[in-house]
Amino acid sequence: MPDPRPASRTLLGRKMDLLERFPMRLRDLLLALTVVFIWGVNFAVIKLGLRQVSPLGLGVARFFLAAFPWVFFVERPKVPLRLVAIYGLLIFAMQFGFLFTGMKLGMSAGLSSLILQLQVFFTIALSVLVLEEKPTSWQLGGALLAFSGVALVAAHIGGDVTAIGLVLLVAAAASWGGGNVASKRISQHSGSVNMIGLVVWGSLFALPPLFVVSLMLEGRELLNSFIGLDWISAGSIAYIVYLSTLFGYAVWSGLLGRYPVNTVAPFTLLVPVFGFLGSTIVLREPLQGWKLAASGLVIAGLCLNLFGARLLGTLPKRSLSSPE
């Protein structure tokens, strides 16, 4: 009877060879998957928090706890305060103000995780306008695919999609895109930036405008939100602040420091996957076929944006003399 051990050793050797060729260490791969899982499930957790806390009040709590007491221990980014303030206003105050309000006004957690990914294409568009960058044909094609997915969502307004909620989610994605452009400006000004410092100090600058707008629009509801918080609401706030914001950004910035952006960025494609998974398991949200179709269009657009040029580079080039 033949000895099976050489075959098993060969199989093990192949597995080890694949792991060595993978561009990330196993530990970092698990960290990346953990962060995108946390960010995806975060949308279901936000829905849980909004059951008791007002949307802008949830934003105030998030950025107060993300700023204090850390602002006394984390060094301020060595860039003009004006840039940090613009970053905090766009990517924190406006993005999450629109996101939380849109989810409160009828957008489901799963769809919110999907629509927010449009920030990639708003970043490209604003980079063209502000930074005078030129979009590639892959980026334009990806944007067309992704916004086709949004059109499919808009065609199903009613139930877990509301018109005002969808508009606010698109505004949140645009704000995130604006914050990404502000982040590029900061990087151009000082080179490498401590992401945790930017998050903590950006949260500090996001707090005053969000608090003022919350007082104007929500008034007594803002104060009543934090009276008699149950453990689900308190746990939701803790998850949003300490896991999604501080832990998530700390790990992500570390990964970006150790690997090229094009190695780390594709993991964000899993955020809406975990978003739908979390909303289905935690909130019992239905997962209809049209949601899967819309998700497929948006994720296909994101993939085309990320991998289109590289895919073209791997295709065999035909010489002019080759037969048709």
**Contact present, 267 and 29 (Cβ < 8 Å):** no
Crossing angle (nearest 10°) for helices 271-282 and 26-50: 50
Tokens standing for 109? 């957690």
- Read off the pLDDT of residues 103-138 as tens digits, 9 standing for 90 and up: 999 899 999 999 998 888 888 888 888 878 888 888
Half-sphere exposure of 319 (CA within 13 A, CB side): 2
Residue 191 has pLDDT above 80, yes or no: no
- Read off the pLDDT of residues 219-255 as tens digits, 9 standing for 90 and up: 888 888 888 899 999 999 999 999 999 999 889 888 8
Q: What's the pLDDT at 324?
A: 33
User: Shortest CA distance to 74 belongs to which of 185, 203, 248, 208?
Assistant: 203
Give the burial class of 294: count Cβ atoms within 10 A of its Cβ; 0-12 exposed, 13-18 middle, 19 or more buried: buried
Rounded CA separation 95/173 (Å):
7
CA distances from 73 to 60, 201, 229, 318, 322 (A): 21, 11, 29, 59, 65
CA distances from 74 to 67, 79, 199, 202 (A): 10, 14, 10, 12
Q: What's the pLDDT at 189?
A: 79
User: So where are the chain's domains?
Assistant: 24-306
Residue 3 has pLDDT above 70, yes or no: no
Rounded CA separation 59/82 (Å):
21
Residue 317 has pLDDT above 50, yes or no: no
Q: What's the pLDDT at 321?
A: 33
